[in-house]
Amino acid sequence: MAKSRNNLLGVGGQRKKLSRADQQGAGSARGADRKAAEDKKQELVRKMRERAEAQAATTAEPSGQPEPGGQAEQDAQS
């Protein structure tokens, strides 16, 4: 007799057991850790963008050509 492949009971792992606090929506320290990690990541990304903008400004400045959105465009719009 061939095995039935339609019965997938038990396939896919098990669910994590939730504590009472988690069931009631109080959350756990794990959620706070994720929030802290996300905050650190956002701060790092912000610092990296600031450094990249500062570096781009210093490299564009000595060439004598104004950056897009610079003073020349502001005077033309006035």
User: 12-21 pLDDT, tens per residue?
Assistant: 666 777 777 7
Q: For the chain, give the mean pLDDT.
A: 75
Q: What is the dihedral of CA 15, 17, 20, 26, to 10 degrees?
A: -60
Average pLDDT score over residue span 25-52 = 88
Predicted confidence at residue 74, as pLDDT, reads 58
Q: pTM for the full model? A: 0.42
The mean pLDDT of 19-44, rounded to a whole number, is 82
For range 22-26, the mean pLDDT: 73
- The DSSP call for residue 4 is P
What's the pLDDT score for residue 37? 92
- 3-state DSSP: the chain helix, strand, coil percent, rounded to 5? 55, 0, 45
Contact 27, 21 (CB under 8 A): yes
pLDDT of residue 34: 87
Q: How far apart are CA 37 and CA 29, in angstroms?
A: 12
